[in-house]
């Protein structure tokens, strides 16, 4: 039910600011994350090999972590290097170590075969450290199957309904533009690329357009294995969509926002949703606008959460009941087919 050979976001870097070990269950596996005395992040199985006590109740000592039940100490590679009262340490005294990389202000953990972990494959997530975007990070815990959250992100036709008051700003012209939009879905090696033009929508006041002006907004995202959502929203002069119906035009937009999100399955019914959202730094008021965008995003993501958790309860009440899909589901169907084939390859 999970893709294992992939980098998953386990935490924002700031969530692991101190030496205190952090327990997180990912893909039904208990992990402990900690920083060693040089600030490097380590990810180990959160289960001491002796009597299976959680290492997250332990203590970081230099590069290592000591189990505070009977004192075994483990190195970042999972080997036991101190067994109180013993000089010879059996090889079986070890815990699983997970490759971990710190990129884009986030901690990424490789959940599969360590020999295949390649940190250069981590996608172009943009966190609060990015110079071009004024990003504010956040996270949310869901009581839902990660696949319901993925399907929601892959099919943004829900925006004028779930988010009519937040992203839609209770403005019928914005919500109508979402309903009218033609959606293009293209396969990627590791996911899908989805674009839609929202044409003839009211220009936001800060765009410096005359009162009542309309703009065309290009909404384009990549959804990548194992659940990474990278969305750019660019505002252009009205008429741009007609001139450039499939691709982003070459000229710079009037304004843009970026959002990166990561869906990390914890267990079959719990998921951690990491997100960052913010305006383009090239706008003179970007920094001043950043809190407003983060607040708007949080409002919208809570709208998704309320709906998806309710959907999960309905599904669980009658799990055999099938869904009836239609053309708005093209991107989720394509992505889920790719994910299923990757899981199948891993099983072989
Ligand atoms: S359970 Fe960890 S040392 Fe005994
Ligand atoms: Fe949503």
Question: Looking at ligand 1, which residue's alpha carbon is closest to its atom 3?
Answer: 70
Ligand 1 within 6 A of CB of 86: no
Ligand 1 within 6 A of CB of 65: no
* Res. 19: pLDDT tops 80: no
How many Å apart are CA 50 and CA 72, to the nearest integer? Answer: 8
How many Å apart are CA 124 and CA 27, to the nearest integer? Answer: 23
**In what side-by-side order are the strands of the sheet with 22-26?**
22-26, 29-35, 41-45, 97-98
* Res. 18: pLDDT tops 80: no
Cβ atoms 6, 224 nearer than 8 A: no
Give the residue-averaged pLDDT of 42-69. Answer: 98
Q: What is the pLDDT of residue 206?
A: 81
How many Å apart are CA 192 and CA 154, to the nearest integer? Answer: 9
- The structure tokens listed for 10 are 């386990």
Ligand 1 within 6 A of CB of 72: yes
- Ligand 1 pocket test: pick from 32, 46, 57, 69 the residue with the most ligand atoms within 8 Å of its Cβ: 69
Give the residue-averaged pLDDT of 64-79. Answer: 98
* Res. 155: pLDDT tops 90: yes
How many angstroms separate the alpha carbon of residue 182 from the centre of ligand 2? 18
Q: What is the pLDDT of residue 126?
A: 85
User: pLDDT-based confidence at 282, cuts 50/70/90?
Assistant: confident
Cβ atoms 203, 215 nearer than 8 A: yes
Minimum-distance ligand 1 atom for the alpha carbon of 52: 1
Q: Give the chain's mean pLDDT.
A: 95
How many Å is the maximal CA-CA distance in the chain? Answer: 79
User: pLDDT-based confidence at 328, cuts 50/70/90?
Assistant: very high
User: pLDDT-based confidence at 232, cuts 50/70/90?
Assistant: very high
Q: What is the pLDDT of residue 241?
A: 96
How many angstroms separate the alpha carbon of residue 55 from the centre of ligand 1? 8
Window from 47-51, 132-136, 143-147 with minimum mean pLDDT? 132-136
Pick the closest to residue 266 from 19, 20, 46 (CA basis). 46
Give the residue-averaged pLDDT of 49-67. Answer: 98
Closest ligand to residue 65's CA: 1
Cβ atoms 50, 56 nearer than 8 A: no
Closest ligand to residue 80's CA: 1
Ligand 1 within 6 A of CB of 95: no
Ligand 1 within 6 A of CB of 67: yes
- The structure tokens listed for 176 are 């109508």
Give the residue-averaged pLDDT of 223-243. Answer: 96
Give the residue-averaged pLDDT of 41-68. Answer: 98
Q: What is the pLDDT of residue 210?
A: 83
Q: What is the pLDDT of residue 160?
A: 97
Question: Looking at ligand 1, which residue's alpha carbon is closest to its atom 1?
Answer: 51
What percentage of residues in the chain have a pLDDT greater than 90? 88
Pick the closest to residue 164 from 299, 258, 326, 309 (CA basis). 299
pLDDT tens-place string over residues 182-230: 999 999 999 999 999 999 999 988 887 888 899 999 999 999 999 999 9
pLDDT tens-place string over residues 93-111: 999 999 999 999 999 999 9
Give the residue-averaged pLDDT of 323-335. Answer: 97
* Res. 140: pLDDT tops 90: yes
How many angstroms separate the alpha carbon of residue 188 from the centre of ligand 2? 22
């Amino acid at each position: 039910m999970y893709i294992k050979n992939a980098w998953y976001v386990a935490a924002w870097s700031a969530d692991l600011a101190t030496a205190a070990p952090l327990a997180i269950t990912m893909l039904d596996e208990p992990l402990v994350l900690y920083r060693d005395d040089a600030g490097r992040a380590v990810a180990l199985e959160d289960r001491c090999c002796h009597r299976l006590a959680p290492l997250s109740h332990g203590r970081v000592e230099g590069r290592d972590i000591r189990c505070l039940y009977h004192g075994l100490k483990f190195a970042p590679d999972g080997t036991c290097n101190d067994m109180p009262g013993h000089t010879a340490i059996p090889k079986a005294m070890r815990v699983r170590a997970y490759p971990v990389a710190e990129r884009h202000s986030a901690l990424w953990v490789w959940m599969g075969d360590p020999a295949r972990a390649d940190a250069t494959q981590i996608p172009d997530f943009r966190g609060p450290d990015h110079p071009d975007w004024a990003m504010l990070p956040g996270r949310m815990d869901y009581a839902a199957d990660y696949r319901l959250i993925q399907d929601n992100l892959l099919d943004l036709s829900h925006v004028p309904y779930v988010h009519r008051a937040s992203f839609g700003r209770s403005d019928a012209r914005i919500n109508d533009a979402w309903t009218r939009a033609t959606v293009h879905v293209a396969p990627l090696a590791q996911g899908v690329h989805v674009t839609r033009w929202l044409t003839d929508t009211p220009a936001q006041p800060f765009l410096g357009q005359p009162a009542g002006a309309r703009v065309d907004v290009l909404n384009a995202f990549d959804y990548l294995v194992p659940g990474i959502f990278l969305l750019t929203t660019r505002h252009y002069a009205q008429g741009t969509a007609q001139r450039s119906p499939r691709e982003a035009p070459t000229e710079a937009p009037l304004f843009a926002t970026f959002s990166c999100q990561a869906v990390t399955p914890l267990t079959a019914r719990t998921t951690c949703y990491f997100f960052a959202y913010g305006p383009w730094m090239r706008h003179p008021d970007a920094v001043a606008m950043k809190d407003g965008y983060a607040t708007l995003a949080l409002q919208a993501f809570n709208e998704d959460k309320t709906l998806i958790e309710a959907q999960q309860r309905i599904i669980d009440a009658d799990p055999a009941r099938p869904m009836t899909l239609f053309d708005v589901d093209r991107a989720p169907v394509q992505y889920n087919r790719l994910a299923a084939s990757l899981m199948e390859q891993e099983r072989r």
